[in-house]
Structure 1
């Protein structure tokens, strides 16, 4: 019968797999070693590191804590716990772990960097929430909500429509989260509703189910709501006036016209313009162009974007960072 492998041999194999970036294999081998000998804190520290590479942070934190229980003076155990807590957004606990790692002789430079990142997260979470104002107006066919938030990235904004609700979520430029939830007075048509992200605001347009005048944006719908009257030039030269949450009367037809003009004139700049160009090429390109763009972007770490499938299909696309920039893999 073949003799069982020793924990030290399993650890050697696991370390080799880790160096080869086969983190799943490394974690499995560390587990086998622990099953034979669960008294070594370094075994748990090593597995915690492999689990972090696999983004299994809850399990990694448990391993780091087990290592601390076995050896309360191991700086690497506190470091692994701190990193796991950081990714779990448990910033106060992460800060305590990094400080403990430093106290027990951990790598000062690395720990200082993690402490800086953690303190930034804590400071950001304690900031006074930014007040974002919103207003609304309506036409015969749509209800429009304007959220006055500047410099939002389109990728950071999501809007979900339901027949009687609207929910907008966004990541603000300072890193804080914004959320707007509306319980609408009247039903809308979700599939015919949309939103547009501009430099100074987000415009949300919701299609009405019925051409009725909304007396309020939110709340319970009143009984006997009348249809919005259509302006008839022979009878009246004045356009219909629609209700708003503002006490001051506004010419919403004029405002809507100005908004449409602003949307038409607003052009993306810088990186946004470049992204729009890439999206246009990808959307209008052939299957080979799309494959070439996907393959070159993924294999080059985002440094190459090619549309030539004949070229990129022959071999793996290498990393080509900009001049003066050195490309390095992230290693915690």
Structure 2
């Protein structure tokens, strides 16, 4: 039987009956069918009651949504305000929870509402006492010193930064309305007019232009007399420069040199007898065991005058000497 076979009162009755039986999933189902079917003032109770069932199932975000819809349909419905307050409390939205409980109390409900108001106020008070820790870090390039302030969700309009030749002063209003300040007494001078900052969703990036291309030993404090110049970038990306200027001999990249020699050897094309030997070496090196046996046997038995790769042919009998035309073959022991 579908929901259309029930009259509106049956749907509400089934939903309430399931709720009493603590079958909250079934109750949500029938309240949902009722919301699809009914209209007008009946929807207020349906949304408020479904919010109650969703609270029992700990589906707090959905419960808050239903309670909010009920309060929009009837702003004086204290049950809806109450259930919205409980939902917000469990969602750790304590400011919104307090407002909902106060609305509930204003519209005639009391009982346990006062306790919820107290709990909400305590949570809000504790949160305000916990200071928000804002961390910052820094790094440098050849031309800039960059400071990263790890503060989330700042309003760009609520962030100001003042630069002088020796200081950086940042002020910001945090999302919880507390004030944040970061004042730096810089180790080395900067160029204020060429320094800037950017407010992002998760951080603030501050870029300060160096007066001199030197490596800062620290962000704050007294400058060191022994300051090293930041090395200029290498002309070739494959060759890394020394960390600091040095009189020592430049190191060679032997791996690179070896690979270049191998490449040159592979690209070099031999000619004449060298080319023929290179071909025989290639055949022997890449050939099968039978090819190598055939080449060894034919070369040895023919006194170097025959080089065959056909093992089936040379395996049958001894390979005879076949000197080139016009050449007489002599054994080494012949005088």
If the length of structure 2 is used for normalisation, what is the TM-score? 0.37
Structure of higher CA gyration radius: 2
Q: Could you say which structure has the greater relative contact order, defined with CA pairs below 8 angstroms and 6 or more residues apart?
A: 1
